[in-house]
Amino acid sequence: GNSVTQMEGPVTLSEEAFLTINCTYTATGYPSLFWYVQYPGEGLQLLLKATKADDKGSNKGFEATYRKETTSFHLEKGSVQVSDSAVYFCALSEIYAGGTSYGKLTFGQGTILTVHP
């Protein structure tokens, strides 16, 4: 079956530090990959996505590149802010017959990020 493994947190950084959150996956087919973010007291929201190998997803200064050879989708940001403190989830979905996945996402366990001023 499919699975997603994220680096264990929590991760604590100072403002303007470089961020990497590792994510690796196993899948039987050709999944799309996602990073979701959950700010305190809120639901998850999509941060970025990549749908095929070598694609780079980016949003709000965050980036992640779909690496099929290493089955990875690591999240990076060059300079984090206090407002980036949240829980980050890596996820994958597989495309089923007809080209749809209907939200059958497989999530990692989440990584808590805390950024201090």
Partner 1 sequence: ETGVTQTPRHLVMGMTNKKSLKCEQHLGHNAMYWYKQSAKKPLELMFVYNFKEQTENNSVPSRFSPECPNSSHLFLHLHTLQPEDSALYLCASSLGGDTGELFFGEGSRLTVL
d(CA 103, CA 108): 15
Taking the least distance from each CB to partner 1, the nearer of 22 and 106 is 106
Contact 66, 3 (CB under 8 A): no
| Site of interaction with partner 1 (CB under 8 A) | 4, 32, 34, 41-46, 49, 51, 89, 91-93, 95, 99-110
The smaller minimum CB distance to partner 1, of residues 85 and 101, is found at 101
CB-nearer residue toward partner 1: 3 or 79: 3
Closest distance of CB 21 from partner 1, Å? 15
Place of tokens 């965050």: 62
Of 109, 92, 104, which Cα lies nearest the Cα of 52? 92
